[in-house]
Amino acid sequence: MKKFIANISRITITYSKFLIMIMLLSSSGTPAKADDAFTYLKCGTRYLKLSGLNLYTTYNIRTKKFMKSYRISQYGEVMIYAEGYH
């Protein structure tokens, strides 16, 4: 009976160490930080500023700002679809 209890306690300790190790490794994953820089596209004579969520248009040269923004609804391989942008 002592041998049985010793084996059960040894297995319990081993598995608990293993589970703690798995939990620590899965929770301490390296966070991926996205690049905060914008992507600028030239479409003919117009410039577009592309962020992760929005597409900015109508570049004002004096203020160096993009005036209008559109929410990106889909990404395609060749096209970016924005709501309200034609």
Q: What is the pLDDT of residues 14-70, one digit of tens each?
A: 999 999 988 887 776 666 565 667 888 887 878 888 887 888 888 777 777 888 888
At residue 76, does pLDDT exceed 70? yes
d(CA 14, CA 68): 60
Helices then strands, counting H and E runs in the chain, come out as 1, 5
At residue 86, does pLDDT exceed 80? no
Count: domains in the chain: 1
The answer as to whether 28 is a domain residue is: no
How many residues belong to the chain?
A: 86
The answer as to whether 27 is a domain residue is: no
**Residue corresponding to tokens 């609804």:** 73
The answer as to whether 69 is a domain residue is: yes
Q: Give the pLDDT confidence score for residue 58 in this predicted structure.
A: 80
Count Cβ atoms below 10 Å from residue 65 Cβ, excluding itself. 11
Q: Give the pLDDT confidence score for residue 43 in this predicted structure.
A: 79
Residue 59 belongs to domain spanning: 39-82
